[in-house]
Chains A and B, each alone.
Chain A
Amino acid sequence: MSYIVKPRFHHPQLQKNDLGYTRRDYEGTLTTLCGGCGHDSISAAIIHAVHEMSLAPHQLAKVSGIGCSSKIPSYFLERSHGFNSVHGRMPSIATGANLANRELYYLGISGDGDTASIGLGQFCHIVRRRINMLYIVANNGTYGLTKGQLSATADLGSKTKSGEESQYDNIDLVSLAIDLGASFVARSFSGDKEQLVPLIQAGLSHRGFALIDVISPCVTFNNTPLSAHGYKNTWENNVVLSEIDFVPMRKEITARYSAGKDKEITLHDGSVIHLHKTGSGYDPGNRENALLHVNEYKKQGRIATGLLYINQDQSDFHELADTVNKPFNRLNEHDLCPGGEVLADINETFM
């Protein structure tokens, strides 16, 4: 049995957030992934991010597909409802859930097999449909649960532990998402919590579809010096295009990096993103520029990370569908049923 209850006891002086919750209140069951798995770092970053921004866990719903990545929603936010669906189909579950209740935060967790292979169609269409959610891909270039086959995000020439070499060009989820109209696109590295945590916070606060492609090395099958998704390659070839700092809504702005700050973006919920100087002068507000940079670095065998693209002016699905503000799941028969008198009139039209 791989479900393990975590011990409940904790340090009495754990820091509480605005809701009075400690980080423990945002944890889940014990992980069953391999020791050192990048995915566990993603779980930790999510717990850190959501606790720090004082988001009530029950106001968030977790959705995932199938695979090592899709297991991790068990390992964080135990007080959130979660839905571990079928392989490659998390986007449709997320879409339906979001339609039913527009007030919650939706956090989708998927992997590179789940998103770039079996679920590529659903991924493309949820981007197009502009569902308001944060979609995290824990991207390790390999199929872990079936023991190390190459995935569709494995770079050309990348080798797994068994020596299998990728013969095909990879699918780059970041370029794809920007191309298909995602309004928040970032890439990060599971080993860089400093970078990842504010991106998660900003992605959750962003109104519209947000993607974070997180390079998350598979220590068991794809972490050799010749693996493009290994720790070594990612550390060495990571190019930070834009670094951000996140200030939740209603919080005083205390810029940790005020010296290097060159831009502020206020999100729809009042939260603020600080973009700070990286020397590159990169502008994440320009879609063509973002695609150009991502592809240019890819050609050089390097990985562009940070907030790559943001567009705050795009309407989300509910705005486009012109739905009522009240969540559908709180509408009752009084709101929804036209009643017997109207039906009598409708009968007339068929006589």
Chain B
Amino acid sequence: MSRGKRAAGGRTGKTRKTAGVNNFVVKFANVNGSGSASANNLFAKAIFRMGIPVSPHNIFPSNIQGLPTWYEVRVNDKGFLGRREGVDLMVAVNEQTIVRDIESVVPDGYVLYDSSKALRPIRKDVNFLPIPLKDICLREFQHPGQRQLFQNIVYVGALATLLDIDFGILTGMISEQFRGKEKLILPNVHALELGYHYARDHFDCPLPIRLRPSRKARGKILMDGNTAIGLGCVYGGATVASWYPLTPSTSVVEAYGKYCKRLRIDPGTGKRKFAIVQAEDELAAIGIAIGAGWNGARAFTASSGPGVSLMQEFLGLAYFAEVPVVLFNIQRVGPSTGMPTRTQQGDLLSCAFASHGDTRQVLLFPSTPKECFEFAAGSFDIADRLQTPVIVMSDLELGMNEHVCDPLEWDDTGGYDRGKVLGGEQLEQMEEYGRYLDVDGDGVPWRTLPGAHPERGSYFTRGSSHDAMAAYTEDGNVYAEVMDRLARKFAGAGKVLPEPEIQADGASRGMIYFGTTAGAIPEVQHKFAKRGVRLDTLRIRSYPFHDAVSRFIEEHEIVYVIEQNRDAQLKSLLKIDCGANDGKMRSVLNYNGVVISADQIQEAILVDLPEAPEREQASA
């Protein structure tokens, strides 16, 4: 030990096999509302800027101030960015949870804590990194707010030394963040330096778990799904957003508004080419979007479980009256209020069949921010083409956490597809117009917009039974014809929906998954490959399912259906729609509110594999 520093575990030379250079998990245990979020974000982003793949997760309470909140950052040079169990370094600065937080650290792991107050040593098999955060800030800063806030920046500075974060990147980010508020740059950089120097003078730095600049994340972006959706709505031509604030969907409309204020201002007049209505509830939110869609504007709303439940009646109207509208469902844990700040894929069935009577809704399942952007922009084309609601099924994990992904792309050559809309001139040429006539045989009729023609093309939109001319009818046969046409339209929807992503190599077993489960899959494949096990994969990206989904199930002896809910909702939907044999489909489920991990998937499948010794144990 040189200069009397603490060896901080480096002494034993032992590190956990799973952790090492560019491969570890750091978790921050904070108090909600203490200003930790931006400091923790600074930490994660700095690692990303070193070119290292990183996946930060917020595990936050439904609370404004005072309750415990965690931020978990996985660093993995192979790019395995699903959640991993076990914490290699805990920044334990919340007294409420410190005992439990320390207990969750792996043997030989590290605990950075605020030593301004003595800590009762509760474990001997972890390495403590005491830093008097409070005392340092009391000494260095005058303003009470800064004394609290900068404790977070000080520990980021210390982590820079401990983990070998490029200090220039950190100070550069501080300068970017406070552009326009320059006088805040100096104290922030000072706080970083305080931590940096303290760690350098007191510990053997860097730790065995540390960073090394990489190329793996070069050229990528680090973005959350909700921001990508908001931006996608701007690119997709949405002009009307109506919403009711609800975690975890709120930031969708906030992002849309932020980008609109930059990108949707008419240069000549300074006026806005968008309108956002914060409605009185979710019923009104979707009603406004449907009214706008009916009248030819591209419109959307964003919500989550409780709000989507309230929208059911209107979703049925839009299905039956054939009005384009887009709903972003950023799923959270249900039923009822559930766990509002935790993630789940629990709304599959309630959205696929949203509303009473025979209804089927089009669903899209993004799994990366890039897909959030593409599906958001594309959903308006799909809704217009099919004249029906499109529900984009994201979740809290994707929506509210930042993910490393490829940069967003936009093809300037393709215009918007507004679907079958007849203008005044076309109406003038027509002999007969019927709103719900299946002229083209694809189940999609032609619509007109109010004001199109002085004497032709008007019709009465209704949720009551109607004939092909949009007139009210109680004739059961006419009703059935309309319902059959809607079924035909739905069955043919696949051609405008994203196809499943398939990796098939002739394996006898396969995995079907969707959405945020995708984060864990490359690691699952890697783990199985090491054991000599091969599994084909299919990632579902839309509903109704493409034919390729049925084929994939047929072609495999056993199919593992991996999803994040209790009731195996995707498996049910596959049974209903693909007629899949229940015996060959096996569920891998996770519904504890945090995203499914590669370990969970691997363990669940291992016990089911015939060649695995675990299987004998399981059946014994």
- Contact (Cβ within 8 A) A58 B295: no
Interface residue? B163 (CB, 8 A): no
A56-73: CB near B (< 8 Å → 1, else 0) gives 111101010000000001
User: In the assembled complex, which residues on chain A have CB atoms less than 8 Å from the CB atom of B266?
Assistant: 324
User: In the assembled complex, which residues on chain B have CB atoms less than 8 Å from the CB atom of A344?
Assistant: 407
Given A91-B284, A96-B295, decide whether A104 and B460 contact each other with a Cβ distance below 8 A: no
Give min CB distance, A334 to chain B, whole Å.
Answer: 9
A289-323: CB near B (< 8 Å → 1, else 0) gives 00000000000000000000000000001100111
Interface residue? A54 (CB, 8 A): no
User: Roughly how many angstroms separate A122 CA and B284 CA in the complex, as a whole number?
Assistant: 7
- Contact (Cβ within 8 A) B292 A337: no
User: In the assembled complex, which residues on chain B have CB atoms less than 8 Å from the CB atom of A337?
Assistant: 234-235, 237, 410, 416
Nearest residue (CB) in A for B463 is A86
Q: Which of A323-347 contact B (CB under 8 A)?
A: 323-325, 328-329, 331-333, 335-340, 342-344, 346-347
Interface residue? A207 (CB, 8 A): no
User: Roughly how many angstroms separate A78 CA and B472 CA in the complex, as a whole number?
Assistant: 14
- Contact (Cβ within 8 A) B237 A103: no
Nearest residue (CB) in B for A94 is B291
Nearest residue (CB) in B for A71 is B472
Of B223, B263, B273, B450, the residue contacting A97 (CB under 8 A) is B450
- Contact (Cβ within 8 A) B472 A81: no
User: In the assembled complex, which residues on chain A have CB atoms less than 8 Å from the CB atom of B294?
Assistant: 83, 93, 96-97, 100
B250-265: CB near A (< 8 Å → 1, else 0) gives 0000000001000110
Give min CB distance, A10 to chain B, whole Å.
Answer: 16
User: Roughly how many angstroms separate A324 CA and B221 CA in the complex, as a whole number?
Assistant: 34
A-contacting 9-mer, from B274-282, B387-395, B581-589: B274-282
A-contacting 9-mer, from B138-146, B451-459, B538-546: B451-459
User: In the assembled complex, which residues on chain A have CB atoms less than 8 Å from the CB atom of B472?
Assistant: 1-3, 74
User: In the assembled complex, which residues on chain B have CB atoms less than 8 Å from the CB atom of A329?
Assistant: 295-297, 449
A149-172: CB near B (< 8 Å → 1, else 0) gives 000000000000000000000000
Nearest residue (CB) in A for B268 is A324
Interface residue? A48 (CB, 8 A): no
Residue of B231, B235, B295, B454 with most partner-chain A CB within 10 A: B295
User: In the assembled complex, which residues on chain B have CB atoms less than 8 Å from the CB atom of A324?
Assistant: 266, 269, 271-273
Interface residue? A237 (CB, 8 A): no
Give min CB distance, A169 to chain B, whole Å.
Answer: 23
Residue of B242, B291, B411, B416 with most partner-chain A CB within 10 A: B291
- Contact (Cβ within 8 A) A350 B273: no
- Contact (Cβ within 8 A) A82 B271: no
Interface residue? B38 (CB, 8 A): no
Given A89-B284, A125-B284, decide whether A104 and B451 contact each other with a Cβ distance below 8 A: yes
Interface residue? A92 (CB, 8 A): yes
Given A81-B448, A84-B461, decide whether A328 and B317 contact each other with a Cβ distance below 8 A: no
- Contact (Cβ within 8 A) A92 B291: yes
Interface residue? B408 (CB, 8 A): yes
User: In the assembled complex, which residues on chain B have CB atoms less than 8 Å from the CB atom of A86?
Assistant: 287, 313-314, 317, 463
Of B223, B237, B448, B460, the residue contacting A336 (CB under 8 A) is B237
User: In the assembled complex, which residues on chain B have CB atoms less than 8 Å from the CB atom of A351?
Assistant: 49, 220-222
Nearest residue (CB) in B for A343 is B410
User: In the assembled complex, which residues on chain B have CB atoms less than 8 Å from the CB atom of A83?
Assistant: 291, 294, 460-462
Given A83-B294, A99-B275, A322-B271, decide whether A58 and B454 contact each other with a Cβ distance below 8 A: yes
Give min CB distance, B559 to chain A, whole Å.
Answer: 36
Interface residue? B293 (CB, 8 A): yes
Nearest residue (CB) in A for B466 is A3
Nearest residue (CB) in A for B373 is A343
- Contact (Cβ within 8 A) A100 B291: yes
- Contact (Cβ within 8 A) A343 B283: no
Given A84-B462, A86-B314, decide whether A338 and B234 contact each other with a Cβ distance below 8 A: yes
B455-484: CB near A (< 8 Å → 1, else 0) gives 100111111100000011111000000000
Residue of B234, B283, B293, B458 with most partner-chain A CB within 10 A: B458
B223-249: CB near A (< 8 Å → 1, else 0) gives 100000001001101011010000000
Interface residue? B431 (CB, 8 A): no
Nearest residue (CB) in A for B217 is A351
Nearest residue (CB) in B for A320 is B275
- Contact (Cβ within 8 A) B290 A79: no
- Contact (Cβ within 8 A) A346 B408: yes
- Contact (Cβ within 8 A) A92 B451: no
- Contact (Cβ within 8 A) A97 B234: no
Interface residue? B425 (CB, 8 A): no
User: In the assembled complex, which residues on chain A have CB atoms less than 8 Å from the CB atom of B314?
Assistant: 86, 89
Interface residue? B432 (CB, 8 A): no
User: In the assembled complex, which residues on chain B have CB atoms less than 8 Å from the CB atom of A98?
Assistant: 291
- Contact (Cβ within 8 A) A100 B240: yes
Of A97, A321, A322, the residue contacting B292 (CB under 8 A) is A97
Interface residue? B440 (CB, 8 A): no
Of A81, A94, A323, the residue contacting B272 (CB under 8 A) is A323
- Contact (Cβ within 8 A) A82 B275: no
Interface residue? A95 (CB, 8 A): yes
- Contact (Cβ within 8 A) B263 A73: no
Give min CB distance, B257 to chain A, whole Å.
Answer: 12
User: Roughly how many angstroms separate A103 CA and B451 CA in the complex, as a whole number?
Assistant: 9
Interface residue? A175 (CB, 8 A): no
Nearest residue (CB) in A for B317 is A86
Of B49, B277, B313, the residue contacting A99 (CB under 8 A) is B277
Interface residue? A121 (CB, 8 A): yes
- Contact (Cβ within 8 A) A321 B275: yes
User: In the assembled complex, which residues on chain A have CB atoms less than 8 Å from the CB atom of B295?
Assistant: 61, 96-97, 100-101, 329
- Contact (Cβ within 8 A) A347 B287: no
Interface residue? A220 (CB, 8 A): no
User: In the assembled complex, which residues on chain A have CB atoms less than 8 Å from the CB atom of B162?
Assistant: none
User: In the assembled complex, which residues on chain A have CB atoms less than 8 Å from the CB atom of B291?
Assistant: 63, 83, 85, 92-100
Of A74, A92, A331, the residue contacting B239 (CB under 8 A) is A331
User: In the assembled complex, which residues on chain A have CB atoms less than 8 Å from the CB atom of B474?
Assistant: 1-2
User: Roughly how many angstroms separate A100 CA and B293 CA in the complex, as a whole number?
Assistant: 8
User: In the assembled complex, which residues on chain A have CB atoms less than 8 Å from the CB atom of B289?
Assistant: 96
User: In the assembled complex, which residues on chain A have CB atoms less than 8 Å from the CB atom of B276?
Assistant: 321
Nearest residue (CB) in B for A337 is B235
- Contact (Cβ within 8 A) A58 B271: no
Q: A83-B461, A328-B297 are in contact. List 20 more A-B contacts (CB 8 A).
A: A2-B472, A58-B454, A58-B455, A83-B294, A83-B462, A85-B287, A93-B290, A96-B292, A97-B295, A99-B275, A100-B291, A321-B272, A323-B273, A329-B449, A336-B273, A340-B411, A343-B235, A343-B409, A344-B407, A351-B222
15 A–B contacts from the bound complex (CB under 8 Å):
A3-B471, A79-B458, A81-B458, A81-B461, A85-B317, A89-B313, A92-B288, A93-B287, A95-B277, A100-B240, A100-B294, A121-B280, A124-B280, A332-B416, A343-B235
Closest 7 CB pairs of A and B: A96-B291, A92-B287, A329-B296, A100-B297, A100-B295, A96-B292, A81-B450
Q: Which residues of A contact B (CB under 8 A)?
A: 1-3, 29, 56-59, 61, 63, 73-74, 78-86, 89, 91-101, 103-104, 121-122, 124-125, 129, 317-318, 321-325, 328-329, 331-333, 335-340, 342-344, 346-347, 350-351
